[in-house]
Amino acid sequence: MAILIDQPEFLEAGFNKVDNVEKEMVFDGGFMVPQTNSFGYTFRDYHVESERQQGVENFYRTNHINQTYDFVKRMRKEYGKLNKVGMSIWECCELLNDVVDESDPDLDEPQIEHLLQTAEAIRKDYPDEDWLHLAGFVHDLGKVLLHPSFEGLPQWAVVGDTYPVGCAFDKSIVHHKYFEENPDFYNSAYNTKYGVYSEGCGLNNVAKVNNTTWPPAALFIIRYHSFYALHRSEAYKHLMSEEDVENLKWLQIFNKSKVRIDVEKVNPYYLSLIEKYFPAKLRW
Ligand SMILES: O[C@H]1[C@H](O)[C@@H](O)[C@H](O)[C@@H](O)[C@H]1O
Ligand SMILES: [Fe+2]
Ligand SMILES: [Fe+2]
């Protein structure tokens, strides 16, 4: 997803295949945590040569060419209406299970399992912050925009790493070279360090339409968990407000995780959190 609000370090290229996957499981606070994805590569490696990577690269090519300032503005307006569907958080999770994310080089489990894995990993580290567990659980629900009930948006418009439009694309963004085919790349209104923004303007302008009682940090996590150029490569810091800086620390603890979980056992806990923080039906 691209955002409206965003400089460089190159991702290391190289072959990071680890031959013996079994040996790469480490024991971490009661969880067995793999160090490689199920294809035998380290996580988020966008430069290995595999069939899956070709699909991922193709995805980013289309994504980088088409995510323009005007497109993102139009999408925000259209989907900000929240007039597509009325449903509960749980119903949304069920819709999500039909979705396959073409941008993810590591994904090999159903979305619901990925959500629970993420949530359980945070719960282990921060047992008392229930709002944070719930953030883990709902963090990828936005992918539901791929579902036909949302007019079936194409993958390039929905998934993949997050970055701002309206200012220069940072070199740390995955497969950066394809931005050279994006019209905004040549538009002087959008291709400078600040572009349409100003110093410290703040990353956050999320509309809190659905009356959640959640802390703002949770919304920040949901919105920016895929903004790797920011939380991993430290790009775009010049656009952050003081509040963003404060919230960033939560993002840094929010990492992809592959802990093994017993879905049946943990489901009731997440249902109770949904009930605590969200209305029964939400506008989407
Ligand atoms: O948060 C993740 C991450 O940014 C991945 O790189 C991307 O493939 C997924 O779509 C997204 O859910
Ligand atoms: Fe995500
Ligand atoms: Fe995710």
Alpha carbon dihedral 145, 149, 154, 156, in 10-degree steps, equals 0
CA-closest candidate to residue 212, choices 160, 141, 123: 141
CB of residue 142 inside a 6 A radius of ligand 1: no
Q: Please report the pLDDT score of residue 256 as a whole number.
A: 62
Q: Please report the pLDDT score of residue 66 as a whole number.
A: 98
Task: From the CA of 104, give the closest atom in ligand 1.
Answer: 8
Average pLDDT of 4-30? 39
The residues placing their C-beta within 5 Å of ligand 3, an ion, are 140
189 Cα to the center of ligand 3, angstroms: 33
Q: Exposed (0-12), middle (13-18) or buried (19+): which is 34, by Cβ within 10 Å? A: middle
CB of residue 160 inside a 6 A radius of ligand 1: yes
Question: What average pLDDT does the structure give for the chain?
Answer: 85
CB of residue 161 inside a 6 A radius of ligand 1: yes
CB of residue 101 inside a 6 A radius of ligand 1: yes
Give the model confidence (pLDDT) of 216-271 as tens digits.
Answer: 899 999 999 999 999 999 999 999 999 999 999 998 888 666 777 888 899 999 99
Give the model confidence (pLDDT) of 173-194 as tens digits.
Answer: 999 999 999 999 999 999 999 9
CB of residue 257 inside a 6 A radius of ligand 1: no
In angstroms and rounded to an integer, the radius of gyration of the C-alpha atoms of the chain is 19
**Residue closest by Cα to atom 1 of ligand 1:** 226
Q: pTM value?
A: 0.86
CA-closest candidate to residue 131, choices 273, 278, 280: 273
143 Cα to the center of ligand 3, angstroms: 10
Residue type at 148 in one-letter notation? P
